[in-house]
Structures are given as C-alpha cells and as structure tokens.
Chains A and B, each alone.
Chain A
Amino acid sequence: MIRVRFFARLREALDCEGLDLRLPPPSSVAALRRHLLQEHPHWAAHLDGRLLCAVNQEMAHAQTPVHDGDEVAFFPPVTGG
C-alpha cells in the first residue's frame, strides 16, 4: 500500500486528509497523481499549479519513484516562521 496525505488548504479543498492505494510498479509521483485524478476527476483543479510533494518526508518531484510502503504527501507552498 502507498499512503497518500494532504495538508492545509489542499486537505480542506479535497475534503480528504489522505488515503491508501496500490499502484502497479514501477511508479512515480506523476503516475500517482494521474491515478488520483482518474479516481477523483473533480480534484484536477486542486492537484495542479504550485503544489509541493514529499516522498517519505523528503522533498520530491514528479519523477521521484514511489514504491509499496511509501508515504507520499501533497501540500501548498509553506508559510511558517
């Protein structure tokens, strides 16, 4: 299973904290995003633009590989401090 998590504005817009899913290997962040959009077409407007992604709590990009057991998080640009 791959654990997907959403944070802040994105979590509220999707009305979803996260979900678990399976993806056929080899997979990537971009493939995971395509899968999410197939399952939830109305998420398209939110899973776009200036969105950040982390795999196993390290910053990632579209081509970052995703494996079974990984945690993948999507979130907006950060505003701490």
Chain B
Amino acid sequence: MISVQQQDFDVGEQYRRLCDEAGEAGAVVFFVGRVRGGDGTVQALELEHYPGMCERQLQGFVDEARRRWDCRSVRVVHRVGRLAAGEQIVFLAVATRHRAEAFQAAHFLIDQLKTRAPFWKKEHGPDGARWLDAGAADVRAAGRWYADAVAW
C-alpha cells in the first residue's frame, strides 16, 4: 500500500493494517521519518512532490523489494505540504517471515525513497526559506541514476 497525502498518519493504525495483511509473518520492521528541529533553525518544512511520478516510483521500489525478499506486506505513507518541526513525514513498514529480510527490505526501501522518489524539501526558519540540497551520501547512493541524467 502506497499513499502520498497531506494528512498525518497514525502509526498504531498503520501497524495494525500491515499485520492484517501480513498474516502470520514473524517479523515487522518499520521506520518513521520526522521533521528534525530542536536547535531553532527549522520551524517548518514544505514538501513538494511530482504527483503521479512519485506514486509510480514508490510502487516500483515496492515491486523490486517484493522480488528480492519474501515480503508479506509493505506499506509506505509519505506526507506533502507544510509540516512543523517534530511532525511525522514518512512511514515505511515491511513484514516478512524472518527478521533479517525485514531489516534488509526496509533499508532498501528507505534508501530508494530518499534518493529516487521525486520529493523536495524547503526549510522555513527564522531567516527565511531555502530548498534543501541532496546529501552527498544520498547522491552517491543514487549512483548511476544521476550520472545518466546529468550528462547533457
């Protein structure tokens, strides 16, 4: 299940739905990404996405995870719009028969999402707003995907 939405999500409800679909899978790993704050520099994030392509990319990552690992259920919920510091951004969960697969599939999915799903963050702070740059590690992780795209 994939959802790109403005409204917040309830982790307990997402977990229950994952389990309902996963049957007797023995392991669940989930990840929640939140708006980092605390030092006063980030008051809010604005999340923009490419509607349509975003959902297609996410579905592609889930399909690939299902090919690589025996995933019984996968859920990805990603919010867009304006989010305050501390708010939830993304929920990603995988249910598999054994824990190693669940960790591996979840790690694969969040890495794919961070490097290849068309979302962009704009940070609002006391000094105004600025678009965030992709981290060097994320760009490296995306590897060939970027190399192909930028060769004019």
Contacts and interface: CB of A to CB of B under 8 A. Distances in A.
Interface of A: 5, 7-9, 12, 30, 33, 48-54, 57-62, 73, 75-81
Nearest to A51: B150
B48 A7 contact: yes
A52 B120 CA distance: 13
Interface of B: 33, 47-50, 52-53, 56, 78, 89-90, 110, 113-122, 131-134, 138-139, 142, 145-146, 148-152
Nearest to A81: B114
Contacts of A58: 53, 56
Contacts of A62: 151-152
Contacts of B89: 81
A51 B149 contact: yes
Contacts of A12: 131
B77 to A, nearest CB: 12
A8 B89 CA distance: 18
Given A8-B122, A30-B152, A79 B132 contact: yes
B122 A53 contact: no
B27 to A, nearest CB: 22
B119 A79 contact: yes
Given A73-B50, A76-B120, A81-B33, A49 B150 contact: yes
Contacts of B113: 80-81
Contacts of A79: 119-121, 131-134, 138
B50 to A, nearest CB: 6
A61 B151 contact: yes
